[in-house]
Amino acid sequence: MKIVVHSQNHKNKLSKIFKNTIKVFNYPCEIVKKNNLNQTYNKKILFFGLVREDKGIIDFIKKNKLQKLTLTIAGKVNAKSMYQLMKYKNLKITIKNKYFHKKELENLFLSHDYLLLPYKKGYAGSAGPMHISLSYGLPIICSNIEIFRDFLKKNKVGVLYNDYKFEKNILSINKKKFLQMKKNCISFSKKNTWFHLGQNYETLYDEIEA
């Protein structure tokens, strides 16, 4: 039996249960026509996706009062979360509670500098928005949880954060490091598309049949 997962973190956890061979196939990135490699740095951070408890965005806003950075929250927001977000409407936060079509999605990512992933420790998903972000060349700012630590250590496409001096730490990232992270994002996305995922599965099937 072969088991396929989309992160080293998931493999590490399953290895404690299963003794079979576990393969890690990276979650695929989209192929995009544009990226923001040469865009001007505008100090804009994006949170994209369904707003729910384990995504950690509400807790992030409570702990981090942004002054020089702006935050866009884009995606469907449930009623409870919207009520909590509206308490912070005077902060530098824009809420776009909607579904985004392809062109709107492109414009959204091209107009921001980083993708924020403030997910909580119990989050068990694969962070699909992260792989969209990598395609467009946006480095990721991740909460310090295992699934992100492994990925960032290997691919150098963003930074981990804690809530202590969040804004100061992000603004202290120099242009050279920021540009290199953007290049790493685009390089990773080009090597990990749906085509590459298909190739990985074909290789796996050949191994099983051999």
d(C-alpha 73, C-alpha 47), whole Å: 5
Can you say whether residue 83 is alpha, beta or left, with left for phi > 0 and alpha for psi between -120 and 50 degrees? alpha
Q: Which helix (H) or strand (E) holds 197?
A: helix 194-209
Backbone angles phi, psi at 29, to 5 degrees: -100, 155
Spatial separation of the C-alpha atoms in residues 10 and 124, rounded to whole Å? 9
Tokens of 133: 């972000």
Whether 159 and 141 map to the same domain: the answer is yes
Residue 198 CA to residue 204 CA, distance in Å, equals 10
Beta strands in 49-121 (DSSP E): 70-74, 93-96, 114-117
Residues 37 and 65 in one domain: yes
Amino acid at 168: K
Could you tell me if 87 and 59 lie in one domain?
yes
Give the CATH number, domain containing residue 105.
3.40.50.2000
Q: Which of 15-24, 75-84, 107-116 has the lowest mean pLDDT?
A: 15-24
Q: Are residues 79 and 139 in the same domain?
A: yes
Q: Are residues 106 and 11 in the same domain?
A: no
Q: Which residue has the tokens 């599965």?
A: 201
The total domain count for the chain is 2
Please indicate, yes or no, whether residues 73 and 148 belong to a single structural domain of this protein: yes
**Residue 198 — very low, low, confident or very high, per pLDDT cuts 50/70/90?**
confident
Give the residues across from 22 on adjacent strands: 3
In single-letter form, the type of residue at position 159 comes to V
- Please give the span between the terminal C-alpha atoms of the chain, in angstroms, as a whole number: 14
- Which residue would you say has higher pLDDT here, 100 or 202? 100
Task: List, for residues 158-181, the tens digit of each pLDDT value.
Answer: 999 987 789 999 999 999 999 999
Same domain, 68 and 141: yes
Both 80 and 20 in one domain: the answer is no
Q: What is the pLDDT of residue 112?
A: 96
Dihedral sign for Cα 134, 137, 138, 139, please: positive
41 and 91 inside one domain: yes
Q: What is the mean pLDDT of the chain?
A: 86
Is the sign of the CA dihedral 153, 156, 161, 165 positive or negative? positive
Instruction: Return the bridge partners of 161, or none.
Output: 143
pLDDT tens digits, residue range 102-160? 899 999 999 999 999 998 887 766 678 999 999 999 999 999 888 888 889 999 999 99
Domain limits for position 98: 32-192
Note whether 90 and 101 are same-domain residues: yes
57 shares its domain with 92: yes
Hey, what are 128's tokens? Answer: 């699909």
Q: Are residues 130 and 69 in the same domain?
A: yes
